Structure 1
Amino acid sequence: MHKSAHIGIILGIGLMLVSCTAEPDTAGNRSELAFEQDTQLQLPEGFQAVVVAEDVGPARHLTIRDNGDIYLALSEKQDGAGTAALRDTNGDGVADEIKYFGEHTGTGIAIRDGYLYRSSDLEVFRYEMPEKNLIPSSEAETIVTGLPDQNTHAAKSFTFDNSGNLYVNVGGPSNACQEEGRTPGSPGQDPCPQLERQAGIWQFSADQLAQDQQKDGHRYATGIRNAVALDWNSSVNKLYAVQHGRDQLSALWPDFFDEEENAELPAEEFFAIDDGDNFGWPYSYYDQFQEKRVLAPEYGGDGEEVGQADNFEDPIYAFPGHWAPNDLLFYNGEQFPEKYRKGAFVAFHGSWNRAPETQEGYRVSFLPFDGEAPSGEDETFANNFAGVDTIKSPGDAEHRPMGLATGPDGSLYISDSVEGNVWRIVYTGN
């Protein structure tokens, strides 16, 4: 089901000065932009990567303002703050003003109707953004509170629809809801109590203050282990997510799975989500080789038996196992060629649990869409963030792609969770 491809790899090491024709700038004028191209990244023919910023701090998701200002959610505080704001003041494509603000670290960040929305691991809040200010001048307003405090899968990523609703990911705080977590042979809890407040997507109002998950939230979908990669597809008015699949099939159930199967299974599942959907975690997982959902071993499965797995929704697409999808972006810009319009980019943070096989992921993939469904196979769009040929553990990677955003000119921005680099991918056609 999966096809991995590179198209027109740009080779080289280091940086070189190039000149390209930029898309309209914030004033609406076309201009010649000289920038330093990052030739480490491997991209399709006609694309070039600009290093917008380096060493901003370990980054999660990012968002871009209409004037080109960039905002990064951080996982570790820098200068005592959890959010970074970047501005290019001279039009050379590089951020030369960087400021830090905000008390909380976390994953989610987005701009909507003059507000910068941000999430910690426990809340969603927002800042009013004055028109010309790089950073907010007022205190944050709490939008959602009472989200579960958990050590595992704590990220509260979010997105908005076109009707004033906010969707928040609340991950399942375990691998497979076992009675004894990550313990060989331990059965799964049935029913799994984590499904009551976790392992799903919750819907809230985007503008109402001080909403509590249990009092005000609506469980929009359930049975989702962890969907850090979450986006509303405005072209079809539908919610989508890419799930982190479960781990350790061979370590926990060696009678049914070998190390090779453990490295490849299960799929990272791409969901099209309707209100009320159940995607089957922890009772099942999707096997991309058999092309079917099967019963999890914690609930009596052996890698082939379907059982109650037949009661749950299937993914619309299956990516390779353990690649760790950490952001999803439907491309609505116009700078990129037609094939990319309304398709999906997925940032894969990279695996940790494929040993003794090499670790995989560490790239941004593209999946074409026609309407609500994929129209072809995925392909690698941006690669070599890791900077090494063989990745034995995540610590080998120089950079790991984390967040995705579309700039006002249609460029694609990518954030890095290791050092906090930001890349801008532009299409020049040469």
Structure 2
Amino acid sequence: MNKHFLIFGLMLLLSSASAKSKTIRNIVPVANGVKITLPQGFTTAIIAENLGRPRHLTINPDGSIYVKLARVVDGKGILYLKDSNSDGTYEVIKGFGNYGGTGLYVKNGFLYASSNKEVFRYTLNEKNEVTDIDNPDKIITGLKMGRQHETKSIVIDNADNIYVNIGAYSNSCQQEDRKTGSLGIPGCPLLDSAGGIWQFKVNKLNQSYGEGIRYATGLRNVVGLDWNNITNSLFVMQHGRDQLNTLFPDLYDAKMNAELPAECLYELKKGDNAGWPFAYYDPFQKKNILAPEYGGDGKKPANGSFINPTVAFPAHLAPNGLLFYTGNQFPEKYRNGAFIAFHGSWNRTPEKQEGFYVAFVPFKNGRPSGEWEIFANGFSGSDSITSASQAVYRPCGLAQGPDGSLYITDDKKGTIFKITYNGK
């Protein structure tokens, strides 16, 4: 079994190296000794720094920015930024919202923001400014929050529905979480209120679980998600489970744990089940495998109507941002494709940690039309990261500007990067 994974691991490594060599051309120094590598014709710049821990963000038609902070800074969890003197650097104009969190979204004249338990709505004026920062509407309340995977990401469709991730407060639904040899709880009852995507109405106040719909289940944790207007469907990036080798050392070694399971991009329809915790997706065997907590041995296929991913990425990269690009600034190849911000791994030892980059998947007619590639790399500041704490920057949120530029948040140093294309 080890030989099997060694061979495929080498193939994956060669594939990744090939993607880097084919697509990355420009090297752009930014700050703190970091150089960002990008495809030819692209460049990047830091437009804001020292913001705290910015997570998701949104860009207004005038170029101003709203950004959600994981933790409040000076009592404020949402920042409004503008480049007041057009020098390329954004200043914080004001802050509001006395709660931390991740989710932020603008739609139909409202700014939506999430804490780890609730979702709020702020009315915007014709300049996309919040009219009343102190009295937002409370859309959803009482969301489940555990000691892990507590963040709530949000997105809105075109039929007045809002989708909220409720992360599972568990690694693999063991009877004793993260304990070696502990088996899975039969049926995993926490799936009733977590481990999936819930759908609520966007225009109804004070909704609770009972008023929402469990839209899709079997998703351990989703941070990056986006609505695809070509397919009129929800896409999400799942954080895959951890610790296969430490929990079941007789079945998995450290090398296998570093490469399993895949981080998966899923297209979700109502009622879909992605398999967690009963199954995980193996990118080498290219199928859902029965989890060891539920009788698996690393080879047994999972029984059940579990969906397959649209794209399977390497393990433990921590995808925190997903954006379908609809702008005109970037070349045609990027039109309607998916950008993914990978926050970076902590548990690929003895392999070096991976991620800390923005990837791209080309799409055509709502489906991937080619292999994924690394689009923007170098945020970590080193090619030999052995601990996530060593990374200089960690990509998190993604947003598209009115001119088609791509914005990336970093929640390590509190930075926002802007990527533009000039064709040179």
Aligning the two structures, in what range does the TM-score lie when normalised by the shorter sequence?
Answer: over 0.9
Give SS of 2:27's match.
Answer: coil
Match of 2:174 in 1: 178
Aligned partner (choices 344, 364, 369) of residue 358 of structure 2? 364
Q: TM-score, normalised by structure 1?
A: 0.92
Match of 2:109 in 1: 114
Correspondences of 1:134-153 after superposition (within 5 Å): 134-138=129-133, 139-153=135-149
Residue type at the aligned position of 1:280: G
* Structure 2: distance between partners of 1:136 and 1:357: 50
Residue type at the aligned position of 1:295: L
CA deviations 1:25-52 (Å, max 9, x no partner) are xxxxxxxxxxxxx972111100010211
Match of 2:308 in 1: 314
Q: Which runs of 5+ in 2 are unaligned?
A: 1-10
Residue type at the aligned position of 1:206: V
Q: Which runs of 4+ in 1 moved over 6 A?
A: none
The answer to whether the 8 Å contact 2:326/2:335 transfers is yes
* Structure 1: distance between partners of 2:93 and 2:261: 41
CA deviations 1:220-279 (Å, max 9, x no partner) are 101111111111101220111110000000000011111100101000011010111011
The answer to whether the 8 Å contact 1:99/1:135 transfers is no
2:202 matches 1:198:
no
The answer to whether the 8 Å contact 2:77/2:101 transfers is yes
Deviation at 1:133, TM superposition (A): 6.9
Give SS of 1:195's match.
Answer: helix
2:204 matches 1:208:
yes
2:412 matches 1:418:
yes
Deviation at 1:97, TM superposition (A): 4.1
Match of 2:35 in 1: 40
Deviation at 1:281, TM superposition (A): 0.5
Residue type at the aligned position of 2:27: L
Match of 1:256 in 2: 251
The answer to whether the 8 Å contact 1:204/1:216 transfers is yes
Match of 1:273 in 2: 268
Deviation at 1:375, TM superposition (A): 1.2
Q: TM-score, normalised by structure 2?
A: 0.93
2:176 matches 1:160:
no
Deviation at 1:362, TM superposition (A): 0.5
The answer to whether the 8 Å contact 2:24/2:375 transfers is no
2:76 matches 1:60:
no
* Structure 1: distance between partners of 2:91 and 2:191: 45
Residue type at the aligned position of 2:372: D
Which stretch has the larger CA shift, 314-323 or 4-13? 4-13
Match of 1:8 in 2: 24
* Structure 1: distance between partners of 2:276 and 2:306: 9
How big is the alpha-carbon RMSD for the aligned residues of Structure 1 and Structure 2?
1.5
The answer to whether the 8 Å contact 2:278/2:302 transfers is no
* Structure 2: distance between partners of 1:207 and 1:134: 20
CA deviations 1:345-372 (Å, max 9, x no partner) are 0000000111122110000000011223
Match of 1:22 in 2: none
* Structure 2: distance between partners of 1:8 and 1:375: 19
* Structure 2: distance between partners of 1:121 and 1:311: 30
* Structure 2: distance between partners of 1:174 and 1:204: 24
Give SS of 1:262's match.
Answer: helix
Instruction: Give the direction of change, closer, same or farther, for the CA distance of 1:14–1:270 in structure 2 (3 Å limit).
Output: closer
Deviation at 1:136, TM superposition (A): 4.3
Match of 1:400 in 2: 394
Aligned partner (choices 369, 373, 377) of residue 379 of structure 1? 373
The answer to whether the 8 Å contact 1:69/1:134 transfers is no
* Structure 1: distance between partners of 2:198 and 2:255: 35
Q: Which runs of 5+ in 1 are unaligned?
A: 16-37
Match of 2:325 in 1: 331
Give SS of 1:175's match.
Answer: coil
Aligned partner (choices 99, 103, 111) of residue 98 of structure 2? 103
Deviation at 1:387, TM superposition (A): 1.0
* Structure 2: distance between partners of 1:164 and 1:189: 36
Give SS of 1:194's match.
Answer: helix
- How many residues end up aligned between the 2 structures? 406
